[in-house]
Amino acid sequence: MNPFVYQSLPTRVVFGWGKLSALAEEIERLGARRALILTTPEQQGLGERVAALLGERAAGVYPKAVMHVPLEVAQAARIEAARLDADCCVAIGGGSTIGLGKAIAMDSGLPIVAIPTTYAGSEMTPIYGLTENRLKKTGRDPKVLPKTVIYDPQLTLTLPAQISACSGMNAMAHAVEALYAEDANPIIGFMAEESIRSLALALPGVVNDPNDPEARSQALYGAWLAGICLGSVGMALHHKLCHTLGGTFNLPHAQAHAIVLPHAAHYNREAAAGPLQRAARALGGSEASEVGGLLYALNQKLGIPLALADIGLPENGPADAAQIACASPYYNPRPFEQGPIEALLTRALKGLAPA
């Protein structure tokens, strides 16, 4: 057996249908009295609902979270938190809203209660991101890891089916890459496999009936496990390519993840044959060589875009992205090779199956 290091994350997790109702109790548990509630402008109504639920313990709703946490937005939110004398943040929404909570925590140390309403996984990670002059910087800081996470699948019912599917495949990518991470370990391996199995089972059900409570619960459970994977071990080629595509071409985050994943997994099929065989089995197959095809077939079944061209990647995208990714590669079981990476991105550009 290979030696390994395993460090568990100290976040308290409350999971269950309707569990938003446990929020006041969870805030009390933290010893906090003045919660600043963070949302995007689109989810302000949900923030108001949370404020009503908290009564006197709500210091205010700040509905200004946007994608990628621009520094000016973070600074304005930090000022608002100080002005309202907040002693904790409740971040209710997707990765953008939780990212804003992290930006406040980084500066002030305020504890975060995260209530995720997508499958992106930020709530389980000590990773923060801040965008300054159009450049996104990310880092790790234990201060930004939420103290408590409430997973209430009921809150995901309003996430449109197509966005749910892409967001779920974004989570799937964390689990797949955790299996072959440089610092992979047996516990995270179990969680990754269970995550892949749950998401593969649940997402077609979510697309088929976005109001199906069982499918929604199973999908959020898979996303929780995927978030732990992301927060615990390093990511590889797939995440590097998606960060490059997002940063350089401004492609939508979850959609880019969904499209690239089959191709990135296929690229690693021989170098990470053991880990990817586990992924293949969790997806209903048996061999590592099938994993790209299985993921591609799942995307087809979900009816989500298959071509990077359809979400805004230009013709020159594959060559440029391959060059940028290879200039500062992440760890990957198979070394970054510019030609084959450009080839895989070209197939992804056109929406072809991995080959």
Rule CB under 6 A: which residues touch ligand NAD?
Answer: 40, 42-43, 67-68, 93-97, 99, 117-118, 120-122, 125, 127, 129, 155-156, 158-159, 167, 230, 253-254
Is 67 or 307 the residue whose CB approaches ligand NAD more closely? Answer: 67
Question: Are 73 and 124 spatial neighbours (Cβ–Cβ below 8 Å)?
Answer: no
- Which candidate, 130, 133, 114, places its Cα nearest to that of 122? 114
| C-alpha dist (Å) from residue 61 to 20, 21, 38, 129, 239 | 16, 18, 6, 22, 33
What is the rounded distance in angstroms from the CA atom of residue 223 to the CA atom of residue 58?
A: 28
Both ends of the chain: CA-CA distance in Å? Answer: 32
Q: Which residue is nearest to ligand NAD (CB)?
A: 95
Q: In angstroms, give the least distance from the CB of 24 to ligand NAD.
A: 21
Q: In angstroms, give the least distance from the CB of 157 to ligand NAD.
A: 7
Q: In angstroms, give the least distance from the CB of 85 to ligand NAD.
A: 26
Q: Residues 189-200, buried b or exposed e (16+ Cβ, 10 A)?
A: bebbbbbbbbbb
Is 99 or 354 the residue whose CB approaches ligand NAD more closely? Answer: 99
Is 248 or 338 the residue whose CB approaches ligand NAD more closely? Answer: 248
Is 183 or 337 the residue whose CB approaches ligand NAD more closely? Answer: 183
Neighbours of 143 (CB within 10 A): 16
What is the rounded distance in angstroms from the CA atom of residue 43 to the CA atom of residue 54?
A: 17
Is 23 or 294 the residue whose CB approaches ligand NAD more closely? Answer: 23
Q: In angstroms, give the least distance from the CB of 70 to ligand NAD.
A: 11
Is 156 or 217 the residue whose CB approaches ligand NAD more closely? Answer: 156
Is 17 or 82 the residue whose CB approaches ligand NAD more closely? Answer: 17
Neighbours of 139 (CB within 10 A): 11
What is the rounded distance in angstroms from the CA atom of residue 263 to the CA atom of residue 353?
A: 8
Alpha helices (runs of H) in the chain, residue ranges in sequence order: 23-29, 44-54, 71-83, 95-108, 161-179, 186-208, 213-232, 237-249, 253-267, 273-282, 291-302, 317-327, 338-350
Residues with Cβ within 8 Å of residue 33, at least 6 apart in sequence: 56, 57, 87
Is 117 or 195 the residue whose CB approaches ligand NAD more closely? Answer: 117
Q: In angstroms, give the least distance from the CB of 236 to ligand NAD.
A: 15
Is 228 or 294 the residue whose CB approaches ligand NAD more closely? Answer: 228
Q: In angstroms, give the least distance from the CB of 355 to ligand NAD.
A: 29
Q: In angstroms, give the least distance from the CB of 182 to ligand NAD.
A: 18
Three-class SS of residue 224? helix
Q: In angstroms, give the least distance from the CB of 188 to ligand NAD.
A: 15
Question: What is the Cβ-side half-sphere exposure of residue 123, based on CA atoms within 13 angstroms?
Answer: 31
Q: In angstroms, give the least distance from the CB of 68 to ligand NAD.
A: 5
